[in-house]
Structure 1
Amino acid sequence: MKQIYDTAIIGGGAIGTATAYFLAKSGQKVLLLERGSVAGESSSKCDGNVQVGDSPAGTDTEMICKSLQLFPQVVKDLDLDVQWKSCTSMFAFETEAEQEAGRLLAEEKYAAGVPMRMLDKQEIHFLEPNLASDIPGGILTDGDGQVNPMLLCLGLLRRAVQYGAVFYTGTRVQSLEKTDGGFLIRTLEQDYRAVNVVAAAGVWTPDIGRMVGIEVPILPRQGQILVTETVNNFVHRTVTEFGYIMTRQESRDFVRNTTPDMEKFGVAALLEPTEGGTLLIGSSRRFDGYNIQNDDRVIRAMVQRVCRFFPKLADIHMIRCYAGLRPYTADHRPILSATPMEGFYIASGHEGSGIALSVITGLLMDELLCGRPLSLDLEPYRFSRFQEKVSGQTGGYARMNM
């Protein structure tokens, strides 16, 4: 209780550890509290892709580009190998109609400086021979990245500690009390004091917000991942169906040739090679509360969909599966913001981009709390945007209370 921290961060996943890293590096007295283990929740139940192709053009693309630029600098400063690498990634079209929509996206992104280019049928099958023979083309993106999510969190926290941060795992916050000097943070083990608090607890951020009377419009959106046996050179980069962009953004303007279960569970084909030689198979998106149990119906739909693009996967064994929760907001953008409660900040709501946007989020929160010029305009990510929605408006704040 004698120690008063400049900032207490609640949450030990990718966002929380990245924020701790940057604040501690800036010289702040940082406390990080995690109720379980570091990277024990969503950050350990995801892939490690850092991709620019699936983000909408404009501010969101600018944000992921800045994160991609920042990753090599941060990784170089860590004393742990987080398996970071720059790589290419691919979107595959199922139909000629998708091909035309993809062409418009690629042209828009290329004009914004994103290194994307169209692939015709011959090119895409030369790069990925195991794709289904009728796939008509795709998009290739240069300069994307991959990282091991769990090692990234551990590396960021380890370096933050070297910069002076203090962390406690297995420490659940019981209450937050606003005081003249900041906040009194009560846990079962002991109490802590901090001038500022950053809620970076992913899908559990609303629980932290309610402790200070703030309703945070974030919902848990479940995703499942399948893991195969070791396979050599089956796929050479992350390959995602173009329709993934539509499922992620909940677009109804784009019709795919899918089954009712695929649509119901937000299934889109994604295949990613890992450092260990296995393949990760995704993806799914559904609202099912805080349930992280795998569902046979979802798994079946995922396997059917990915085998549409890679038929030879039918001969490969799946060895395990797992599910995680993505922190979802109605406009698919994170909240990186101060709140009506002075000193209480939110860094959450990244949905499926928490790993990809971790380092840029950490930098922006550091700049925000320390009062330095921002590397990116945070207006689109402010908390108050949800309060300005009219109750009952489609896609607005009311959608978050479903």
Structure 2
Amino acid sequence: MRNKYGAIVIGGGYFGCACSYFLAKAGVPTLLLEEKEISRGASGANFGNVQVQDASMGQSYELTLAGFARMKTMTEELGCDIGYQSYPSLIGAESEEHLPELERLFQEKKEAGLDVYWLEGDALQEAEPNLAPGTVLAASYFEQGRVYPFHYQYALVRQGRRYGLEVREFSTVSSLLVEGGVCTGVMLADGTTVRAEHVIVTSGAGTRPLCATAGLDVPVYSVKAEAFVTEAIQPFLKTYYSSAAFFAEAHNPEKAVTSLCIGQSHYGNILLAETTKPHTAVDEAGQDCTSMEHCRNIREKVLHFFPALEPVSILRGWVTASPYTPNNEPIFGKAPVPGLILAAGFKSSAVVSAVVGETVAELVTRDTCAWDLDQYTAAIRPL
């Protein structure tokens, strides 16, 4: 490990891997630090959907579109198969109360020029034949994409190493190093100090406590999210289906929520999510444990909408701390402490990962970028 780097990136998920790759490619001596293993956190629990339909309007929508276009080129960029493919998306209104929000989501995207469709009745049944008739009133449909999360993140790291990227797994950052009002590096849990001209925090749910060591209150919070995967079966789902309730309730800071998101993996496994519960409502012993309560909830919802899956066995479940921000906008850009850059709290990760990585590289090498990022850092406050 060197004494000083051009950039230290903290967090080995989508954003940490992408930022590290593009920084190294730009010629910046870069060190990537991950507390556990690459893709071990929320980015490894992620289904790899390159989502567009749920993006917030305004610049966040433009950032999502730019990311969507960029992700289509990442197989060629990285020189290997990352599992990118077109993947239709359905967002379904399962009750009358969900219809107004789904219609708003659909209309704003349609008016913005997105090739999105409103499906009901026979058209909806044709899009997803195994969906139980009558269980969904209407759905919006868009041809988005997906990647295989591990292949993509490992490819970013592998190619980054070819440009000189250093990676240290099982390296816990205990605090940010601030000297003379400037972030000059990090302190590791073993007492080692590592210095850099820039520090980039991409720590997801760990962003807030880490930034507190630099005297900043960064509003990135988390819920305990659970998901499940079944045995592999023959092609069953034509789309990735998610409930409109998910986008309204998934990161509820006050109560546990179960809403159905379901897709079929590249390998035939059925991916089931998502149940969430505020971390503050979970006792310490249960933070990393799946729960029978949520397993039962998911089973009930799956069999209501897709009864043909009843004989299929769940192989395993997993838990992660899923980050969110109160306004559903990311914390992204230069922090009030010079030398510190943040990229956390994004509503959807895979779709914007590459464009975020390129943007961070521009901030480091040019001290500017193509986006107005002030709106994404305005919520940061001094402690």
Same fold flag (TM > 0.5)? yes
The 3-state SS of whatever aligns with 1:283 is: strand
| Structure 1 spans left out of the alignment, 5+ residues | 252-262, 389-396, 398-402
Instruction: Return the letter of the residue paired with 1:66.
Output: A
Cα deviation, residue 285, structure 1: 2.1
The answer for the alignment partner of 1:186 in structure 2 is 187
Correspondent of 1:286 among 277, 285, 289: 277
* Residues 38 and 87 of structure 1, relative CA distance in 2, 3 Å threshold: same
1:113-155 superposed Cα distances (whole Å, 9 cap, x missing partner): 211111121011112111111133321102x111111221111
- Deviating more after overlay: 273-282 vs 314-323: 314-323
The answer as to 2:85 corresponding to 1:85 is: yes
The answer as to 2:314 corresponding to 1:318 is: yes
The 3-state SS of whatever aligns with 2:372 is: coil
| 8 Å Cα contact 1:225/1:283 also seen in 2 | yes
Instruction: Return the letter of the residue paired with 2:232.
Output: T
* Residues 97 and 265 of structure 1, relative CA distance in 2, 3 Å threshold: closer
Instruction: Return the letter of the residue paired with 1:223.
Output: A
Cα distance in 1 for partners of 2:100, 2:219 equals 35
Q: TM-score, normalised by structure 1?
A: 0.86
The 3-state SS of whatever aligns with 1:321 is: strand
Cα distance in 1 for partners of 2:193, 2:379 equals 33
Q: Mapping of 1:291-302 within 5 angstroms?
A: 291-302=287-298
Q: TM-score, normalised by structure 2?
A: 0.90
| 8 Å Cα contact 1:7/1:197 also seen in 2 | yes
| 8 Å Cα contact 1:46/1:324 also seen in 2 | no
| 8 Å Cα contact 2:11/2:202 also seen in 1 | yes
* Residues 213 and 100 of structure 1, relative CA distance in 2, 3 Å threshold: closer
Cα distance in 2 for partners of 1:185, 1:94 equals 48
| Structure 2 spans left out of the alignment, 5+ residues | none
Instruction: Return the letter of the residue paired with 1:370.
Output: T
* Residues 278 and 63 of structure 1, relative CA distance in 2, 3 Å threshold: same
The answer for the alignment partner of 2:142 in structure 1 is 141
Instruction: Return the letter of the residue paired with 1:40.
Output: R
* Residues 41 and 100 of structure 1, relative CA distance in 2, 3 Å threshold: closer
| 8 Å Cα contact 2:252/2:278 also seen in 1 | no
Cα distance in 2 for partners of 1:74, 1:96 equals 40
1:38-69 superposed Cα distances (whole Å, 9 cap, x missing partner): 11111111211111112233333222211111
Cα deviation, residue 212, structure 1: 2.1
Equivalent residues, number: 375
Cα deviation, residue 282, structure 1: 1.0
| 8 Å Cα contact 1:89/1:239 also seen in 2 | yes
Cα distance in 2 for partners of 1:196, 1:64 equals 25
The 3-state SS of whatever aligns with 1:271 is: strand
Q: Mapping of 1:1-400 within 5 angstroms?
A: 3-95=3-95, 98-99=98-99, 101-134=101-134, 135-142=136-143, 144-179=144-179, 183-187=184-188, 188=190, 190-248=192-250, 264-289=255-280, 291-350=287-346, 353-371=348-366, 373-382=368-377, 384-387=378-381
Cα deviation, residue 233, structure 1: 2.1
| 8 Å Cα contact 1:268/1:306 also seen in 2 | no
Instruction: Return the letter of the residue paired with 2:381.
Output: Q
The 3-state SS of whatever aligns with 1:90 is: strand
* Residues 213 and 190 of structure 1, relative CA distance in 2, 3 Å threshold: same
- Structure with greater strand share of residues: 2
The 3-state SS of whatever aligns with 1:376 is: coil
Cα distance in 2 for partners of 1:102, 1:41 equals 30
